[in-house]
Amino acid sequence: MKLTETPLEGLFILEPKVLEDNRGFFMESYNKKKLEDLGISAEFVQDNHSKSIKGAIRGLHFQNPPYEQTKLIRAVAGELLDVVVDIRKQSPTYGQKFAILLSAKNKKQLYVPPGFAHGFVALEDGTEILYKCDQYYNSESEGGLLYSDPDLAIDWKVDLESAVVSDKDKIHPTLSGFESQF
């Protein structure tokens, strides 16, 4: 497994070794020992899997302490733009964003530690995302940032007027109107 650092401390791109031949491919999508060898020691306890239509934006979500989550994210069908925003108050990159294309084809994964708001947009119909979490979901610790915050200026690669967004995601605060617990 190859680990690539991003400009945001603690946020990593992981690329598994993929063996391909005329039958298809094989890869280890998760190997605790190999991740530990790379310095990643999260104990994952829950897998989440969602399927989205093209243009669906989900996020930007996080869980507040003490239920904050580390996530290991990958696309298993289609293609998505995965976006994170650093919400760690003491971080030199507070408020900065990072985006990456994750697809069933490129097989890249994103390792997201606590203190990041996370969201994605499906760029193809039938896009499926699978992500591991090291904390169980807790509805009372849910938090979010507004996906369309003009100060974040996220290029979602879709027209925001026609994007499919939940009512809940349309009312999250902007970064400037948000008090981080991280």
Q: For position 180, what pLDDT does the model report? A: 97
Measured between alpha carbons, how far is 164 from 167 in angstroms, rounded to an integer? 10
The answer to whether residue 63 sits within a structural domain is yes
What per-residue confidence (pLDDT) applies to 122? 98
What does pTM read for this prediction? 0.95
| Tens digit of each residue's pLDDT (9 = 90 or more) over 67-80 | 999 999 999 999 99
Per-residue model confidence (pLDDT) at position 14: 97
Question: Domain residues for 47?
Answer: 43-177
Assign residue 52 the CATH number of its domain.
2.60.120.10
In a domain, 61, yes or no: yes
Does 30 reside within a domain?
no
pLDDT digits (tens, 9 = 90+) for 52-107: 999 999 999 999 999 999 999 999 999 999 999 999 999 999 999 999 999 999 99
pLDDT tens figures, 117-157? 999 999 999 999 999 999 999 999 999 999 999 999 999 99
25: in domain: no
Percent pLDDT > 90 in the chain is 100
Has residue 18 been placed in a domain?
Answer: no
Give the number of other CB atoms < 10 A from CB of residue 126.
12
Q: How confident is the model at residue 16 (pLDDT cuts 50, 70, 90)?
A: very high
Q: Is residue 102 included in any domain, yes or no?
A: yes
DSSP-derived pairing of the beta strands 142-144 and 56-63: antiparallel
Which are the catalytic amino acids? 61, 131
What is the pLDDT, as a whole number, of residue 116?
98
Of 42, 44, 67, 60, nearest to 139 (Cα)? 67
* 62 assigned to some structural domain: yes
| 20 lies in some domain | no
What does the pLDDT read at residue 5? 97
Q: What pLDDT, on a 0 to 100 scale, did the predictor assign at position 48? A: 98
- The structural domain count of the chain equals 1
Which of 130, 80, 132 shows the shortest CA–CA distance to 103? 80
For residue 58, the model assigns a pLDDT of: 98
